[in-house]
Structure 1
Amino acid sequence: MDALSGLIDTQGVRGVLGARIAAGEDWGWWSAETPGAAFHAVTAGTVWIAPEGGDPVQLLPGELLLLPSGGAHALASDPDTLARTSPQRSDDPLVAGDGTVRMGRGSARTHILCAHYAHDPVTSAPLLAALPPVLLLRGQGEDEGLAETVRLVGRELAAPRPGSPVVLARLIDVLLVQALRAWLAREDDSAASPLHAVRDPAVSAAMALIDAAPGDAWTVTRLARESAVSRATLARRFPAILGETPAAYLTRRRLDLAARRLRDTDDTLEVIAQHVGYTSVYAFSRAFRRQQGVPPGRFRVAARAGTIAS
C-alpha cells in the first residue's frame, strides 16, 4: 500500500452521494455548511459557484470544485443570480421521482453531481485539512483521467440503470483520489502535512510501512533501512515534511487504529493494546488518554453512542 492509499484508508475517508442537479435557466441555490468536504462536478452545461465570502468561480463540463472545509456556498446559473443568492434568497428545488433535483426554468442544460467527503470521526489529523479552502480542477490539461471519470459520471447521470447509485458512489471515491493527485502534481507549497509527505519518496515509503503494520516494533533505523535511505536523512526529512517525528506518527496511527477497534469490536483492552504494539494495558491506556482526552473504556461508550465529534 502506498502512502496516499494508506492515508485515505486509515482515516476512513469516504464519499457520499448528495444531489444530482438538472438545471435550466435563471436559478440560484444556497448550500449550507456541511460537516465534511463539499464537492461538485459538472458533466454538462455551466454553473457558477461562490463560497461564502469568497470569489465566484465558473465550472464548465469536466471540471470540479472541492471545498475541503465544507463551507457554505451559492450555486447559480449566472453571475447576476449568484450575487443575489443567499440563505435568505434561495430557490426551492423540485425533487423528481428518480431523486434528481430540478432547478430553474426550461429544459435542463446543466448537470451537476454534488457529494461530500467525510473522515472517520475517531481518527486524528483529517487528511483534507491540508488542502486550500477552494480547490478547482479543470480536468482537461491537468489530468485526463480526472476528465474521463467525470464523463463516466455524466453517462450514469444521463441514463441511470440498475446499480447506478453504487457506480456513482465508487466514482466519487475515485474522483477524490484523482483530485488529490492533480493537486499534488501542481502544488509547490512546502508546508508540512501528510499530503505533502506523499511526494517525498523516503518519507512516503516510511509512512506506508507504518500504515501497513502499525503494531510492529518500528524504529527510525529500521524504517530508514526498509525505505532505502540513511537514518540521518529520514530523521531529518520526516518531521520537516510531515510535521511530526516517525515515533509521533507511529503513535498516532496506533491509537487511531485502537479507537476504531474500541468502537467496532468487543475486544478487551489487553487484546487491543497488544494488537497495536503496546506491551501493557497501562502504557496503552495512558497513551490513549493523552491523544483522545478520555480513557479507552469511556471512549468506547461515547463512540458507540455516536457522541465522538469529527
Structure 2
Amino acid sequence: MDPLSQLFAHPRAERAFGLLMTMRPPWAVHIADESALTLMVVTGGRCRIEARDAGHDLHPGDIALVRGPHPYRVSDRAGSPAIARIEPGQRCITPDGRPLHVTYAHGLRHWGNDPDGPDTVIVASYPDAGSVGRFVTDVLPDLAVVPAGRIDAALITHLHRELSRDGLGQSVVLDRLIDIVTIEAIRAWAAEHPPARAPWLAGVTDPAVAAALDAMHTRPEKGWTVADLARVGTVSRATLAERFGRLVGQPPLRYLARWRLALARDLLADPALTLDAIAARVGYSSGFALSAAFSREYGHSPAAHRRRLIAPAVALTAGPDQPMSVTKRQNG
C-alpha cells in the first residue's frame, strides 16, 4: 500500500468533514480550521481561494487542494468582505466572534449565506493526515489547482448528489466518494506537476525502483536487504542501489526505515496495540528496537507520542455554533 493509499487508511483518519456551500455575492470566509488537507470543488458560479502567497480564481468543475494547517480565504472575488470565520472543530463564527451555525445552516450538510445562492462549492476536509499521510501532503503546494475535466465529472456529480440527500449508509458512501475524488485530484495534479520532493513518486518512472518501493510499502515487516529488493526488481544489487539513490534521493534501506517509522507513528494511535505488536507489523525485532529507532528519528519516545495521540480530542459532532460533520470510518 503506497503513501497515497495509506493517507486514507491510517488509524488517525477517524473523521472527515464534508458539506455543500452555497453563497450569494459578495462573500468571503476566513478558514482557520487547521485541517491537514481540504478539497474544494466548484459546482456553480465562481470562487477565489487565497492561501498564503498563492491565489486562484476557480470556475465550475475546477478543483482545489489546500494544504494545512495555515489559514486561507475563500470568496467570490478578491476584496469581498468577510462574513464568516471557520475555526478548529469546524466552529463557525462571525468575524467579530458571534456563533453563526444556526444562521447559515440549511440542512444536514448544506451551509451558506443563501440556500439558493449562485456560487456553490463542495468542501471536504481531513483534520489529520497522520505521519504517513504527510508523505503525500508534503508533496503538495499550499494551493494545488486541478482544472475542470481532469477527473471524471460523474464522480463530482455523484458526490454533489449524495451531499444533497440522506439515506441508509450515507456517511460510508460519502467517506468513499470524498476519498476517491481526493485521490483522483492528487493524482491529476501530480501527473501535470511532477513533485521534486516526493521520493515515493520519483521512482515510478523506473520499473526496478517502482517494484522495490511497492515491496517496501506493501510488506514493511519483511527483513528486506538491498539484494532482496534488487531481486524483486530483477536487476543487480549495484544497479538498484544506483538507480534508487539517484531517483529517490536516499538509499533503499534509509527510505525503508523512514517508511516503517511513519507507519509505527500512526499505529501508536491505537491503544490496543502494544509496542511489540507494532514493531512486528513494521519490521522491527522488538518494541525496544523500535523505541530506539523512533527516538533517534523523532526526538521523543513512542510512549510520549502515544500520550499526545490519545489525548481527548475536540468532538466534531454538531453543536449550536458549528456545522455538521461526516463521521469517517475507524480503521484498525
- The TM tier, using the shorter chain, reads 0.7 to 0.9
Partner of 1:73: 72
For the 8 Å contact 1:18–1:114, the answer to whether it is kept is: yes
Q: TM-score, normalised by structure 2?
A: 0.76
Report the AA paired with residue 71 of structure 1.
H
For residue 214 of structure 1, report the CA deviation from its aligned partner: 0.9
For the 8 Å contact 1:2–1:205, the answer to whether it is kept is: no
Partner of 2:90: none
Q: 1:241 aligns with which of 243, 247, 254?
A: 247
Inter-CA distance 176–207: structure 2 relative to 1 (3 Å threshold): same
Inter-CA distance 223–277: structure 2 relative to 1 (3 Å threshold): same
Partner of 1:30: 30
Higher relative contact order (CA 8 A, sep 6+): 2
Equivalent residue pairs, number: 300
Report the AA paired with residue 130 of structure 1.
V
Partner of 2:258: 252
In 1: Cα distance, 2:206 partner to 2:300 partner: 35
For residue 261 of structure 1, report the CA deviation from its aligned partner: 4.2
Q: TM-score, normalised by structure 1?
A: 0.80
For the 8 Å contact 2:12–2:269, the answer to whether it is kept is: no
For the 8 Å contact 2:241–2:252, the answer to whether it is kept is: yes
For residue 167 of structure 1, report the CA deviation from its aligned partner: 2.3
In 1: Cα distance, 2:107 partner to 2:287 partner: 54
In 1: Cα distance, 2:71 partner to 2:147 partner: 22
Q: 1:98 aligns with which of 87, 108, 115?
A: 108
Q: 2:221 aligns with which of 215, 222, 243?
A: 215
For residue 49 of structure 1, report the CA deviation from its aligned partner: 2.1
Partner of 2:155: 149
For the 8 Å contact 1:124–1:252, the answer to whether it is kept is: no
Inter-CA distance 276–45: structure 2 relative to 1 (3 Å threshold): same
Deviations 1:51-107 (A, max 9, x none): 24433x2222221111123432222223452xx449898596611233411225x83
Partner of 1:62: 61
3-state SS, counterpart of residue 209 of structure 1? helix
For residue 305 of structure 1, report the CA deviation from its aligned partner: 2.9
1:116 paired to 2:103:
no
1:192-211 superposed matches below 5 A:
192-211=198-217
Inter-CA distance 7–234: structure 2 relative to 1 (3 Å threshold): farther
Inter-CA distance 296–23: structure 2 relative to 1 (3 Å threshold): closer
In 1: Cα distance, 2:235 partner to 2:14 partner: 33
For residue 280 of structure 1, report the CA deviation from its aligned partner: 4.7
In 1: Cα distance, 2:298 partner to 2:185 partner: 31
Structure 2 residue runs of 5 or longer lacking an equivalent are: 86-93, 314-332
Deviations 1:234-253 (A, max 9, x none): 21232333333211122223
In 2: Cα distance, 1:80 partner to 1:270 partner: 55
For residue 111 of structure 1, report the CA deviation from its aligned partner: 1.9
Partner of 1:5: 5
For residue 123 of structure 1, report the CA deviation from its aligned partner: 4.6
3-state SS, counterpart of residue 262 of structure 2? helix
Report the AA paired with residue 94 of structure 1.
Y
In 2: Cα distance, 1:164 partner to 1:61 partner: 25
For residue 136 of structure 1, report the CA deviation from its aligned partner: 0.6
In 1: Cα distance, 2:128 partner to 2:246 partner: 25
For the 8 Å contact 1:6–1:212, the answer to whether it is kept is: no
What's the % identity of the aligned pairs? 31
1:132 paired to 2:138:
no
Inter-CA distance 38–247: structure 2 relative to 1 (3 Å threshold): same
